[in-house]
Structure 1
Amino acid sequence: MYATEQDLYLRFGQEIENLKSMLPEESSIEEILQDAIDEINGHIGGRYSLPLPNVPTNLKRMACDIARYRLYFQKPSEEVRQRYEDAIYFLKRVADNKAHLQIISETDQTIIDDQPKNAPATMPIGTTYKGGMFNDAVLDMMPSIK
């Protein structure tokens, strides 16, 4: 988890208790936090291998902001809405490789951001290229050096 109920209370205090009291009986803060985590993973999952090895502090803050916004099932304040939109904007920038989460290695305290997701840089040997300007049929017509 990127954030806990305790993190919400530490950041927003009594406001969370007030919002919690207005939740429908079948809802819980844990569900709201899970929704926030799913939303975050939807943005960063294409770039980072999940689960993350550790949670950067900025991601914990964004998870709290998103969960707080979701706790307002009625109209949120302008400040709550703006913090949510800022978090989503940052996550979109992370997904587009224009911002970084600054994930720190627990062993040597170095940044391990942007490690490849084990995707090959080129096509494996023996595969056939199916698209683009020079497909196999075009390449077969070209003279070869033998």
Structure 2
Amino acid sequence: MSYAAAQDLIARYSNRDLVQLTNDDPTVTTINTDVLQQALDDGSAEIDGYLDGRFALPLAQPPAILARLACDIAMYRLQSLRPLHDLADARKRYEDAVAFLMEVARGTVTLGLSAVGTEPPSAPDAAVVEGPSRVFDRNKLRGF
């Protein structure tokens, strides 16, 4: 699942840059949306690598910040394929995105989502089952 669509990337970056980055032929004047979407999917997969283990994936309703991060990572990946482009700005955005994701993975920054292993909020009419403690535990069965 991609956190950003091609339209998200097109809204953030210039059409001319995206045309140049997604096409090998310099005479083409339209964005290759397949290449664009692949870069976004790759960026989303990288994000999932940081979120995995902390959140249940795929996220049902991903926060909007993940769309921006996916766009920044995708743009860096696209620009790194073209040696003529200046990578300084794209690299800085990429490094910022990775630093943010590392903070999320450490738990020092939150996405406003429930982490894996936390109790979901209980519904008002939810059934709660409780029972007595175990009669036969590991210590009592030792030696059998």
**Shorter-normalised TM range:** 0.5 to 0.7
Tell me the residue number matched to 2:77. Answer: 70
Question: Normalization by structure 2: what TM-score?
Answer: 0.68
| 1:1-146 correspondence runs (5 A) | 1-14=2-15, 15-22=17-24, 28-72=35-79, 73-75=81-83, 76-102=86-112, 113=113, 115-118=114-117, 126=137
Aligned length: 111
Tell me the residue number matched to 1:139. Answer: none
The sequence identity of aligned pairs, in percent, is 35
Instruction: Measure how far apart 1:9 and its partner are.
Output: 0.4
Distance 1:93 1:127 in 2: 39
CA deviations over 1:52-71 (Å, ceiling 9, x no partner):
12121111100000000000
Tell me the residue number matched to 2:128. Answer: none
Equivalent AA in structure 2 for residue 16 of structure 1: L
Distance 2:90 2:115 in 1: 34
Contact 1:44 1:94 in 2 (8 A): yes
C-alpha spacing 1:91/1:127, structure 2 compared with 1 (3 Å):
farther
Instruction: Measure how far apart 1:77 and its partner are.
Output: 2.2
Instruction: Measure how far apart 1:46 and its partner are.
Output: 1.5
Unaligned runs of 5+ in 2: 26-31, 120-133, 140-144
Indicate the RMSD between aligned Cα atoms, in angstroms: 2.5
Unaligned runs of 5+ in 1: 103-112, 129-146
Distance 1:87 1:12 in 2: 17
Instruction: Measure how far apart 1:117 and its partner are.
Output: 1.9
Equivalent AA in structure 1 for residue 117 of structure 2: N
CA deviations over 1:76-100 (Å, ceiling 9, x no partner):
4211110000000000000000111
